[in-house]
């Protein structure tokens, strides 16, 4: 009896999680000028309309470029930090690591506001750089966590062997350490990319009308219209997310990638 109740409750919660997403995907094909579920008729006109929106297309391309650039910078800074922390013991290492992880626990809205007033007060007029900095700041912790976990699993004897065979520090790094942790580096790149691509809060504070990442574009569009075109762009983003999940699953196994089990 109790087990049945728990089972049923579990299914209802699954429905609660998936329901809205299913309705958005279904509603994007409706012929009505509002999102209806089940959709009335079937049309691709909202997707066609989306393809004619220069602003949305520009934002999509901009978001992709920003996420790619963010991945590059966050990986360079983050992987160097992880290796430094891994190879060298020093006093206060744990504190330093916690400091590097701090953007993860600091509210994103505060990071956004802090950077906004900082750029204004130092008179920095470089919107793309400003946005990039915000994204790099909140994604570095993901690099530390994911790549850090890969390094912990690495047998130190392998690096020692390379060293004793005469490979220098740099050579060991490039030929032994980095290849050995390649899967976690790949996973970190994907995490950083998607976190940057999806980031809305920090971007809302740091982007202007010309350089608007996609989530901010959707956010400001929703403010005055909730038509099925947004359902269409949402559907594409959901497909994108499932593509990423499949990729992660393939690379690492989902449970390990998300840090469960």
Partner 1 sequence: MSTAVISRRGMELLLYLAPVTLFYVVFLILPYLMVLRLSFFQFSPMHLYIPEFTWANYAAVLTDRFYLGLLARTIGLGLLVTLVSLMLGYPLALKISRAGPAMKSVLLAITLSPLLINLVVRTYAWLVLLGDTGVVNHWLQALGVTAGPLPLGGNMFSVIVGLVHICLPLMALSLVGVLERIDPALFDAAESLGASRGRVLRRIVLPLSMPGIGAGSLLVFSFTISAFVTPALLGGNRVTTISTLIYEKFTFSSNWPVGATLVVFLLVINIAVVILHGRLFRED
Q: Select from 48-56, 149-157, 180-188, 194-202 the region that touches partner 1 (CB under 8 A).
A: 194-202
Q: Of residues 52, 54, 92, 105, which one binds partner 1 by CB under 8 A?
A: 105
- Residue 188 tokens read as 């970190």
- Cα 30 to Cα 45: distance, rounded to the nearest angstrom: 9
Q: Of residues 145, 237, 251, 256, which one binds partner 1 by CB under 8 A?
A: 237
Q: Which of 207, 227, 224, 229 lies closest to 216, judged by CA? A: 207
- Residue 113 tokens read as 């506001």
**Total of chain residues touching partner 1, rule CB under 8 A:** 84
| H or E segment and range at residue 208 | none
- Residue 91 tokens read as 């006093």
* 258 forms part of the interface with partner 1 (CB under 8 A): yes
Counting every residue written for the chain, the total comes to 261
Shortest distance (Å) from residue 256 CB to partner 1: 11
Q: Select from 145-153, 157-165, 174-182, 217-225 the region that touches partner 1 (CB under 8 A).
A: 217-225
* 128 forms part of the interface with partner 1 (CB under 8 A): no
Q: Of residues 128, 198, 211, 251, which one binds partner 1 by CB under 8 A?
A: 198
Residues in CB range of 107: below 8 A, 6 or more apart: none
Q: Of residues 137, 151, 185, 187, which one binds partner 1 by CB under 8 A?
A: 137
* 106 forms part of the interface with partner 1 (CB under 8 A): yes
Segment 9 to 68, residues that bind partner 1, using CB under 8 A: 9-11, 13-14, 16-18, 20-21, 23-24, 27, 34-37
Shortest distance (Å) from residue 66 CB to partner 1: 14
Shortest distance (Å) from residue 244 CB to partner 1: 6
Shortest distance (Å) from residue 81 CB to partner 1: 4
Q: Of residues 115, 147, 185, 206, which one binds partner 1 by CB under 8 A?
A: 115
Q: Select from 46-54, 148-156, 175-183, 199-207 the region that touches partner 1 (CB under 8 A).
A: 199-207
- Cα 78 to Cα 84: distance, rounded to the nearest angstrom: 10
The number of angstroms, rounded, from the C-alpha of 203 to the middle of its chain's C-alpha atoms is 13
Segment 151 to 170, residues that bind partner 1, using CB under 8 A: 169
The residue with tokens 């196994």 is: 253
Shortest distance (Å) from residue 184 CB to partner 1: 17
Residues in CB range of 246: below 8 A, 6 or more apart: none
Work out the burial of residue 28: count CB atoms within 10 Å of its CB; fewer than 13 is exposed, 13-18 middle, 19 or more buried. Answer: buried
The residue with tokens 């690379």 is: 251
| Positive or negative torsion for Cα 192, 193, 197, 202 | positive
* 184 forms part of the interface with partner 1 (CB under 8 A): no
């Amino acid at each position: 009896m109790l087990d049945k109740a728990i089972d049923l409750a579990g299914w209802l919660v699954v429905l609660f999680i998936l329901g809205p997403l299913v309705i958005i995907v279904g509603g994007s094909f409706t012929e009505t000028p509002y999102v209806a579920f089940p959709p009335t008729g079937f049309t691709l006109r909202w997707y066609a309309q989306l393809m004619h929106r220069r602003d949305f297309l520009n934002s999509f391309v901009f978001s992709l470029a920003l996420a790619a650039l963010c991945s590059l910078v966050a990986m360079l800074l983050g992987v160097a930090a992880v290796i430094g922390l891994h190879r060298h013991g020093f006093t206060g290492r744990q504190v330093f690591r916690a400091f590097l992880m701090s953007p993860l626990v600091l509210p994103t809205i505060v990071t956004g506001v802090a950077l906004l007033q900082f750029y204004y007060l130092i008179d920095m007029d470089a919107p793309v750089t400003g946005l990039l900095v915000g994204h790099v700041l909140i994604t570095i912790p993901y690099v530390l966590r994911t790549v850090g976990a890969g390094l912990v699993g690495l047998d130190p004897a392998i690096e020692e062997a390379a060293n004793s065979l005469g490979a220098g520090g740099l050579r060991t790094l490039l030929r032994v350490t980095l290849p050995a942790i390649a899967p976690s580096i790949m996973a970190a790149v994907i995490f950083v990319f998607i976190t940057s691509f999806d980031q809305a809060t920090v971007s809302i504070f740091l982007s202007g009308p010309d350089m608007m990442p996609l989530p901010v574009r959707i956010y400001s569009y929703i403010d005055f219209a909730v038509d099925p075109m947004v359902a269409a762009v949402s559907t594409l983003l959901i497909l994108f997310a499932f593509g990423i999940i499949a990729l992660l699953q393939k690379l690492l196994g989902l449970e390990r990638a998300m840090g469960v089990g």
